[in-house]
Structure 1
Amino acid sequence: MSEKHIVKILSTDTITHDVKRFEVEKPQGYGFIPGQATEISIHKAGWQDKRNPFTFTSLNEWDHLEFTIKIYDNQDGVTHQLGLLQPGDELILHDVWGAIQYKGAGCFIAGGAGVTPFIAIFRQLHKEGLTGNNKLFFSNKTVADIILKDEFTKMLGQNFINTITQENAPGYDHRRIDEAYLKDMIRDFDQHFYICGPDLMVQTVQQALKNLGSPESVITVEI
């Protein structure tokens, strides 16, 4: 039988111009592996059966759950409705699932809101002093789109590498993450690679890594 938990929103705040953080109640005994997700629906008439997947960005030991969600206000979907909710409103959480979890040091490659599975992973590694030489390559359209820029910089320092595709910003790469970029930026293609972002980007990066010699066994993507 599938899980179903009705939880209250505890707080919301703005992360970027179109990304919000939601802190919500944590059901007793509820747990997940950093990188995993759940499907969320809104406990409101007309929205209870509309389920969207969102990644946990909290850590297991926290007394609440956190989600960091990109709000699409140009369409009347679940995220637009989420953006209108206030503390005290209720969400429905479903089963925990997800293929992205930490398997060893390597390169994390994210596009836009695809960085969310990596938030909890890096928070956990940082807490345990195990960040090491893990790198995060993060592609966004503009500098204003970078999610948790200050926190990732604090956790990763020079291993937080941003590339901006739709503006030429000083101090940032201005390239797409494609085969040529990966060849220029990475030396070891036998290390672990974790990829999350828009479907086309994930497919392009996955194929590029294979072309550059990465075995399938070191590439982790959301199934």
Structure 2
Amino acid sequence: MGHTLAVTRIEEVTHNVRQLTFEKPEGFAFTPGQAAEVAIDKDGWRDADNPFTFTALPEWDELQFTIKIYPEHNGLTEQIGNMSVGDRFIVGDPWGTIEYKGRGTFIAGGAGVTPFIAILRMLRERGELSGHRLIFANKREDDIILRDEFEAMPGLETIHVLSEEDKNGFEYGHVDKAMLERLIGNTSQHFYVCGPDPMIESVNDALKQLGADPDALVFEE
């Protein structure tokens, strides 16, 4: 079932990421980490839907998506990048397999951090962030989504990894087995992994080689 919802606020998060807030239908419920199929209520785009993750919390009066814009793709996100307040989304029902299962490490690549935004916000509201870690991989420093918010979360250890810039205060390279072994220590925890498919596969393989329980790996299957 699709819900046609008007955008009420648009915020620039980075040079290519926008945060869109919009009306919440009465009775609409989801779990932090879940996504929905989204299209634009505009001729030629109503059937061109993509999955995006809710970054609001379920108890908020509004819904929110945080979306990376890819102008070079000539697709849905380019159109979303041109949207204005008052334009309308068509939002499907919530779905997804990424959900919070217990204390652990979140490993994200680029826009793959979006399923973790609501989960980490939920833990912040509960005062339960202590003991959690976010390893967030990006190409460059200015690509980091919601950096200030993550770094201000009390109890959350945030580690930024850059693959195209070697800067003080950042890990440099790719999130591989050697980096994970150095950063995570104990593998007796949950691991939440989201990013490009090759990254998910390589990180999951590395974690299992390091001794992580396969049942403790949480990712979109």
Identify whether the pair has TM-score above 0.5, normalized to the shorter chain: yes
Q: Which amino acid aligns with 1:29?
A: G
C-alpha distance 115-156 of structure 1, shift in aligned 2 (>3 A): farther
TM-score, normalization by structure 1: 0.97
C-alpha distance 110-156 of structure 1, shift in aligned 2 (>3 A): farther
TM-score, normalization by structure 2: 0.98
User: What does 1:32-111 correspond to in 2, within 5 Å?
Assistant: 32-111=30-109
Q: Please name the residue that 1:140 is paired with.
A: 138
SS at match of 1:88: coil
Q: Which amino acid aligns with 2:78?
A: H
Q: Which amino acid aligns with 1:115?
A: V
Distance in 2 (alpha carbons) for counterparts of 1:170 and 1:214 = 30
SS at match of 2:81: helix
Q: Please name the residue that 2:177 is paired with.
A: 179
CA displacement at 1:157 relative to structure 2: 5.9
Q: Please name the residue that 1:124 is paired with.
A: 122
CA displacement at 1:201 relative to structure 2: 0.4
Distance in 2 (alpha carbons) for counterparts of 1:156 and 1:83 = 32
Number of residue equivalences: 221
User: What does 1:176-215 correspond to in 2, within 5 Å?
Assistant: 176-215=174-213
**Alignment identity in percent?**
47
Q: Please name the residue that 2:167 is paired with.
A: 169
Q: Which amino acid aligns with 2:15?
A: H
Distance in 1 (alpha carbons) for counterparts of 2:154 and 2:191 = 16
Q: Please name the residue that 1:152 is paired with.
A: 150
Q: What whole-Å deviation, never above 9, does each CA across 1:130-186 have from its counterpart, x for those lacking one?
A: 111100000000000000000000115660010111011121111210101011112
Determine if contact 1:135/1:156 at 8 Å carries over to the other structure: no
RMSD: 0.9
Determine if contact 2:132/2:157 at 8 Å carries over to the other structure: yes
Distance in 2 (alpha carbons) for counterparts of 1:27 and 1:195 = 30
CA displacement at 1:95 relative to structure 2: 1.6
SS at match of 1:20: strand
Q: What whole-Å deviation, never above 9, does each CA across 1:185-209 have from its counterpart, x for those lacking one?
A: 1211121000000000000000001
Q: Identify unmatched segments of 5+ residues in structure 2.
A: none
SS at match of 2:172: coil
